[in-house]
């Protein structure tokens, strides 16, 4: 049975049972505890946490998931994956254990010609939580399972919670016995390779405290409504129904391996070392392409860093399989073809995806070149010191800074007859992981106690009136001080205020929150910030300027009109610039993030390479032509499907309600999903002036602009600057660029002449240095401190002095001390090298004196140190060494 058919049957089974089908959420959600969605229940967390009332009693979904803690283990076994699909069914206070067991059992065991999966009931086992006698009874009653195929396990295996105080409950897991060829008898407690877990049913009934029941601690209470959260591993079920050994041989995954076989000419299953590489390519291609599809671009931190590692491991694995041509685009096409039927965004956004991955591959190939130079330098230092092991910190630097996988460093070291301090490398990696875990743990506070907001949300969502009016009468529903609900707030306090209705825009969609005031008789509150909790509750952070605010009080909430005018200009200006970018650059230049506030906008978009001045001018002109045309700005509402049919653009990573709001400027020219505040006609935006364009990551550029009065002020400053220059240069405004260019050219010529004079003066000292050589056991030594000389000049001078020593054995050691560092160059004559004196081997002799190190070849070595005061001691050490071992 093909994977898509497995998914189809799961969805239809639960829809027939009254479940609402919820499409997979993006891998990127606004969750402070997660880099990526890593389980099917994540999009439903607000309902399980009680932060929001669920819009349905029962739901089902096929959620794309990414888990990345064990990236380095992927490929080494057939069990580790970063990307997988989790099929799940969920109940929010509706059915509980018995119905969850019945629904799972019927789908698994019903014959395939009746819409089920057709698993043999005699080969199914289940596990339950230690004291969950009820679940045992239900498995016997509903499924007819004999007691010997129901096993009890402790909390580490069969209790679920979110890792923080909140909902939890016992689990019951379903396993399939693959037979004696896969391991020993005895059920899941004996061998989880033979008995493969395919489904986990979580009976969410408890409230856990600070200590988890997973570790044997008791829950602190029961949930008022019992919930069901289940997850079926689609890839695992596919491996069983397709009769293959593991998930890498299932249809959707094997297709990527087939492409890698085609490109490399090698065969999966022929060599275990190659198989690891095939599996890395197959898994990382799926996770990497899906992550890019949800709007992430490679970078050096957070999600971008994880994505970069995934993509670079694909390229490196392909290289180790002997593939020299670009591969990411070809693997991306396979993932699109295989996964597109389930995730159509992979098809519609493929041009952008392709651009991102191809750019990253090109960047990595450049990185390989740069990193190889760093490796060669490090290897040279090791050999110069007479050692054979590359230090662990060097291997870690190559991995962490240059993106070199450790296996690449090991291979390159082996090629040069060196080993790597793997223990030191792994220690540094462990420290990095510990820091990452600590950071992740700190992020989990994002799901701290939100009871206070939950209480207020139960009173109803905040009604936002800001689209129609700038002032609204409202009632104070709640006042929050330091996370606790209070009855009143006095003058001088900063508190959070929740109203039943408000015209003040809450920060979202890249737009800053409104400024404004909330007033009542004798009471005045300055609105500092407005945020949305769970997208339904407007929380105003206020400073009490006068009076005392009380819960239940009637107030007037007012938006600062000037602020809102500027905010509307900024947000509408963002849409206009986005449309202009796509008109000038093409449809691939899609927005990947934005920020706007009164008078200013910033827009990130998918693009590789900087924009020329001419292109920037064209984008600015197209934007301002749209302003001059006074295009109508219309608001439309509809479903996501209707918006997509109209061609509306959605922001990657954003979450939208079932009914969406579309902003249309000039018809189809600009049509985007957006909840922000906007002008009525494009002319109200005012002038748009681009002030900057830069790179913010691989394949992502950023433009910045002023709009409205801020644009006028910026242009006025530019005009004043030109007029001041014209006055200073005594030329008309139009001639300023030419005059400045002429002055710069004169300065450049003068600097070149000075450089020539300085170099000539420096090289003129070579003769005097050579004549001052001292004889040490038959070897001529020229050792001198020459402050203020650059590395290249120092090398040139050392070479000239060495040439002047002629055919005699000679060593030249020049030091260039600065305030807190010192560079050096050591050069030897041919006669000195014939006598066994090598420049690289002299570095360890004097290096400790200047706190430095370096390396090189027998004829020349160079490096630096951090103790310029140690130069005399370094020269003395050289004298002593040559005096003992002279030619």
The pLDDT of residue 809 is above 80: yes
Residue 623 pLDDT class (50, 70, 90 cuts)? very high
The pLDDT of residue 299 is above 60: yes
Answer yes or no: are the C-beta atoms of 610 and 693 closer than 8 Å: yes
Give the model's pLDDT for residue 410. Answer: 82
Q: Which helix (H) or strand (E) holds 785?
A: strand 779-785
Answer yes or no: are the C-beta atoms of 378 and 394 closer than 8 Å: yes
DSSP secondary structure letter of residue 868: G
From 355-369, 438-452, 482-496, the region with the lowest mean pLDDT: 438-452
The pLDDT of residue 288 is above 80: yes
Give the model's pLDDT for residue 648. Answer: 85
Which pairs from 545-549 meet CB under 8 Å and 24+ separation? 545/491, 546/491, 546/522, 547/491, 547/520, 547/521, 547/522, 547/523, 548/488, 548/489, 548/490, 548/491, 548/523, 549/476, 549/479, 549/488, 549/489, 549/495, 549/497, 549/520, 549/523, 549/525
pLDDT tens-digit map of 405-414: 676 788 678 7
Give the model's pLDDT for residue 448. Answer: 44
Tell me the pLDDT of the chain averaged across its residues: 89
Give the model's pLDDT for residue 443. Answer: 41
Which of 186, 235, 226 has the alpha carbon at shortest distance from 93? 226
Distance in angstroms (rounded) separating the CA atoms of residues 208 and 779: 79
Distance in angstroms (rounded) separating the CA atoms of residues 131 and 135: 9
More confident residue, 79 or 175: 175
The pLDDT of residue 201 is above 90: yes
Answer yes or no: are the C-beta atoms of 124 and 108 closer than 8 Å: yes
Q: Which residues are annotated as a binding site for Zn(2+)?
A: 571, 575, 674, 678
Give the model's pLDDT for residue 442. Answer: 45
Q: Vertex 667, ends 662 and 673: CA angle to 5°?
A: 15
Instruction: Please enumerate in sequence order all residues whose Cβ is within 8 A of that of 719, keeping only pairs 6 or more positions apart, or say none.
Output: none
Region 766-884: CATH code: 3.10.310.40
Helix segments in 416-527, DSSP class H = 422-443, 451-457
pLDDT tens-digit map of 747-797: 999 888 887 777 677 777 888 899 889 998 889 999 999 887 877 888 889
Strands 463-464 and 501-502, sheet pairing: parallel
The domain covering 3-242 belongs, at the CATH homologous superfamily level, to Bira Bifunctional Protein; Domain 2 (3.30.930.10)
Distance in angstroms (rounded) separating the CA atoms of residues 649 and 476: 37
Using CA atoms, how far residue 838 sits from 644, 831, 842, in Å, is 71, 11, 7
From 323-332, 605-614, 867-876, the region with the lowest mean pLDDT: 605-614
pLDDT tens-digit map of 417-440: 889 998 888 888 777 766 655 544
Answer yes or no: are the C-beta atoms of 7 and 62 closer than 8 Å: yes
The pLDDT of residue 447 is above 50: no
Burial of 812 (0-12, 13-18, 19+ CB in 10 A): buried
Distance in angstroms (rounded) separating the CA atoms of residues 178 and 864: 63
From 398-412, 555-569, 706-720, 835-849, the region with the lowest mean pLDDT: 398-412
The pLDDT of residue 5 is above 60: yes
Taking the alpha carbons at both ends of the chain, their separation in whole angstroms is 81
Give the model's pLDDT for residue 886. Answer: 59
Distance in angstroms (rounded) separating the CA atoms of residues 374 and 292: 30
Q: If you average pLDDT over residues 819-824, what whole number do you get?
A: 90
Give the model's pLDDT for residue 444. Answer: 43
Give the model's pLDDT for residue 394. Answer: 86
Residue 49 pLDDT class (50, 70, 90 cuts)? confident
Give the model's pLDDT for residue 825. Answer: 94
Query: Domain 570-703's class?
Result: alpha beta
Distance in angstroms (rounded) separating the CA atoms of residues 36 and 142: 36
Q: If you average pLDDT over residues 31-35, what whole number do you get?
A: 74
Give the model's pLDDT for residue 364. Answer: 83
The pLDDT of residue 402 is above 70: no
Q: If you average pLDDT over residues 350-354, what whole number do you get?
A: 89
CATH 2.40.30.130 fits 451-559, yes or no: yes
Strands 688-697 and 700-707, sheet pairing: antiparallel
The pLDDT of residue 441 is above 50: no
Which pairs from 256-260 meet CB under 8 Å and 24+ separation? 256/281, 256/282, 256/285, 256/286, 256/331, 256/334, 256/335, 256/338, 257/281, 257/282, 259/330, 259/331, 259/334, 260/318, 260/321, 260/323, 260/327, 260/331
pLDDT tens-digit map of 448-460: 456 688 888 888 8
Residue 289 pLDDT class (50, 70, 90 cuts)? very high
Q: Which residues are annotated as a binding site?
A: 571, 575, 674, 678
Give the model's pLDDT for residue 32. Answer: 66
3-state secondary structure 79-135: CCCCEEEEEEEEEECCCCHHHHHHHHHHHHHCCHHHCCCCCCHHHEEEEEECCCHHH
* Beta-ladder partners of 89: 60
The pLDDT of residue 446 is above 60: no
Domain assignments of the chain as residue spans, ordered by start: 3-242, 251-368, 388-443, 451-559, 570-703, 766-884
């Amino acid at each position: 049975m093909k994977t898509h058919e497995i998914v189809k049957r799961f969805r239809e089974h639960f829809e027939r049972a009254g479940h609402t089908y919820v499409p997979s959420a993006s891998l990127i959600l606004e969750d402070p505890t997660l880099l990526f969605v890593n389980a099917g229940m994540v999009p439903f967390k607000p309902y399980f946490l009680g932060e929001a009332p669920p819009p349905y009693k029962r739901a089902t979904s096929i959620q794309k998931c990414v888990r990345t803690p064990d990236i380095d283990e992927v490929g080494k076994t057939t069990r580790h994956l970063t990307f997988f699909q989790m099929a799940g069914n969920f109940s929010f206070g509706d059915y509980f254990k018995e119905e969850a067991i019945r629904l799972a059992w019927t789908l698994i065991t019903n014959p395939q010609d009746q819409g089920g999966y057709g698993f043999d009931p005699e080969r199914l086992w289940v596990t339950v939580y230690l004291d969950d006698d009820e679940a045992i009874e239900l498995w016997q009653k509903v499924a007819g399972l004999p007691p010997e195929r129901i096993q009890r396990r402790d909390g580490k295996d069969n209790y679920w919670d979110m890792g923080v105080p909140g909902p939890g409950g016992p689990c019951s897991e379903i396993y399939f016995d693959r037979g004696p060829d896969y391991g020993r008898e005895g059920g899941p407690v004996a061998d989880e390779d033979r008995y493969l877990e395919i489904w986990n049913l979580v009976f969410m009934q408890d409230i856990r405290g600070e200590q988890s029941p997973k570790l044997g601690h008791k829950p602190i209470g029961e949930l008022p409504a019992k919930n069901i959260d289940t997850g079926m591993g689609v890839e695992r079920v596919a491996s069983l129904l397709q009769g293959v050994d593991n998930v890498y041989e299932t249809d959707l995954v094997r297709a990527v391996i087939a492409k890698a076989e085609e490109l490399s000419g090698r065969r999966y299953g022929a060599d275990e070392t190659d198989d690891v590489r095939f599996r890395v390519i197959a898994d990382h291609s799926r996770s990497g392409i899906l992550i890019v599809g949800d709007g992430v671009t490679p970078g050096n931190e957070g999600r971008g860093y994880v994505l970069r590692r995934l993509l670079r491991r694909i390229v490196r694995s392909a290289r180790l399989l002997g593939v020299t041509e670009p591969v990411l685009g070809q693997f991306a096409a396979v993932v699109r073809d295989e996964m597109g039927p389930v995730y159509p965004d992979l098809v519609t956004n493929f041009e952008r995806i392709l651009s991102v991955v191809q750019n990253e591959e090109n960047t990595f190939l450049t990185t390989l070149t740069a990193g190889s130079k760093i490796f060669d330098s490090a290897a040279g230092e090791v050999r110069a010191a007479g050692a054979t092991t590359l230090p662990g910190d060097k291997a870690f630097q190559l991995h962490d800074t240059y993106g070199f996988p450790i296996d690449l460093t090991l291979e390159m070291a082996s090629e040069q007859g060196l080993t790597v301090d793997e223990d030191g490398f792994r220690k540094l990696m462990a420290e990095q992981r510990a820091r990452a875990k600590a950071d992740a743990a700190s992020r989990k506070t994002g799901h701290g106690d939100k009871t206070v907001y939950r209480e207020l949300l139960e009173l109803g969502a905040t009604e936002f009136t800001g689209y129609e009016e700038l002032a609204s009468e409202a009632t104070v529903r709640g006042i929050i001080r330091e996370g606790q609900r209070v009855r009143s707030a006095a003058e001088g306090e900063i508190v959070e205020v929740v109203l039943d209705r408000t015209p003040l825009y809450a920060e979202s969609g890249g737009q800053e929150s409104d400024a404004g005031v909330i007033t009542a008789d004798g009471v005045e509150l300055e609105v500092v910030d407005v945020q949305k909790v769970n997208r339904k509750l407007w929380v105003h952070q206020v400073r009490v300027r006068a009076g005392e605010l009380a819960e239940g009080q009637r107030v007037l909430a007012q938006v600062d009109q000037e602020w809102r005018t500027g905010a509307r200009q900024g947000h509408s200006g963002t849409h206009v610039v986005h449309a202009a970018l796509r008109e000038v650059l093409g449809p691939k230049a899609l927005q990947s993030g934005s920020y706007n506030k009164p008078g200013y906008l910033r827009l990130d978009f998918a693009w590789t390479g900087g924009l020329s001045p001419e292109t920037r001018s064209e984008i600015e002109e197209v934007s301002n032509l749209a302003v001059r045309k006074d295009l109508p700005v219309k608001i439309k509402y509809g479903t996501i499907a209707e918006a997509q049919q109209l061609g509306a653009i959605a922001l990657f990573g954003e979450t939208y309600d079932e009914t969406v709001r579309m902003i249309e400027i000039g018809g189809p020219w600009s049509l985007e999903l957006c909840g922000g505040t906007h002008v009525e006609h494009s002319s109200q935006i005012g002038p748009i002036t681009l002030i900057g364009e830069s790179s913010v990551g691989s394949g992502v550029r950023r433009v910045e602009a002023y709009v409205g009065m801020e644009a006028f002020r910026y242009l006025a400053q530019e005009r004043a600057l030109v007029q001041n220059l014209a006055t200073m240069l005594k030329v008309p405004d139009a001639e300023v660029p030419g005059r400045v260019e002429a002055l710069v050219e004169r300065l450049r010529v003068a600097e070149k002449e000075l450089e020539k004079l300085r170099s000539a003066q420096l090289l003129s000292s070579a003769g005097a240095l050579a004549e001052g050589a001292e004889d040490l056991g038959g070897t001529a030594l020229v050792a001198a401190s020459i402050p203020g000389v650059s590395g290249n000049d120092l090398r040139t001078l050392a070479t000239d002095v060495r040439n002047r020593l002629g055919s005699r054995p000679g060593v030249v050691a020049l030091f260039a001390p600065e305030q807190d560092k010192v560079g050096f160059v050591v050069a030897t004559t041919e006669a000195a090298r014939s006598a066994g004196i090598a420049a690289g081997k002299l570095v360890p002799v004097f290096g400790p004196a200047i706190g430095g190190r370096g390396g090189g070849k027998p004829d020349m070595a160079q490096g630096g140190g951090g103790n310029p005061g140690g130069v005399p001691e370094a020269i003395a050490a050289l004298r002593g060494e040559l005096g003992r071992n002279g030619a």
